[in-house]
Amino acid sequence: MELEGNALIERLKQDEVVTKTYTAADQSTINLDDLFDFVTVTLEQNQLVSAEIVISGDDPIRLRLESNLINLPLRYVNNISKIVINDPAKEVNLYIIVESPYVSHSKLRIDYASTVAAYLDDFDSVAGKIASYFDEKLALINENGAKAAAEDEAAETTEQNDGEA
């Protein structure tokens, strides 16, 4: 799948992105099969895709796959437009996006998964890479979330002790 920069801009401005959101009650109930099925069918139709799984909780975690020419979330239409305007046709890529307060300082992590063509041609390999990536980032989020909770608890204990002195 190839796209010129101006064609991408037009599709984004016309809201021609096929989107779907799945929810998971917690990390143990994540089902990537539905996400992959939706992404595959959409990409086979030469459509731009944005599919995500939202993991419920106090701080919801968003795991998303998006097709794009560059590594920015599709919702950043203005920024994408400035970068790809008048670009010649290029391969459309599939990006892996994770959003959580504990994934990075910006609360957003985006990485290249593959070209759309490679995803469709070698699905098992790319899907395995994506699943491993999500596992890795969920482990990081859990670790950073636990650290933040421990720091908050320590700060509260210090405040209580200071108040008693």
For 21-51, write each residue's pLDDT tens digit. 999 988 877 889 999 999 999 999 999 999 9
Q: Coil, strand, or helix at residue 43?
A: helix
Question: Residues, the chain, total?
Answer: 165
Q: Of 94, 95, 74, 96, which is closest to residue 84 (Cα–Cα)?
A: 74
Contact 104, 136 (CB under 8 A): no
pLDDT at 28: 77
108-115 sheet: strands from edge to edge: 17-24, 48-55, 61-68, 93-99, 108-115
pLDDT at 148: 84
Better-predicted residue by pLDDT, 109 or 160: 109
* Range scoring the smallest mean pLDDT among 1-15, 121-135, 145-159: 145-159
pLDDT at 145: 87
Contact 16, 3 (CB under 8 A): no
pLDDT category at 164 given cuts 50, 70, 90 is low
- What's the average model confidence in pLDDT over 87-107? 95
pLDDT at 165: 54
Confidence check: pLDDT of 163 > 70:
no
Q: Of 130, 140, 122, 160, which is closest to residue 51 (Cα–Cα)?
A: 130
Tally of domains within the chain? 1
- Identify the DSSP state of 89: P
Hey, which residues does 114 pair with through a beta bridge? 94
pLDDT at 161: 67
pLDDT at 77: 96
pLDDT at 149: 82
> Which structural domain range is residue 21 located in?
2-164
- Residue recorded with tokens 């985006």: 110
pLDDT at 30: 87
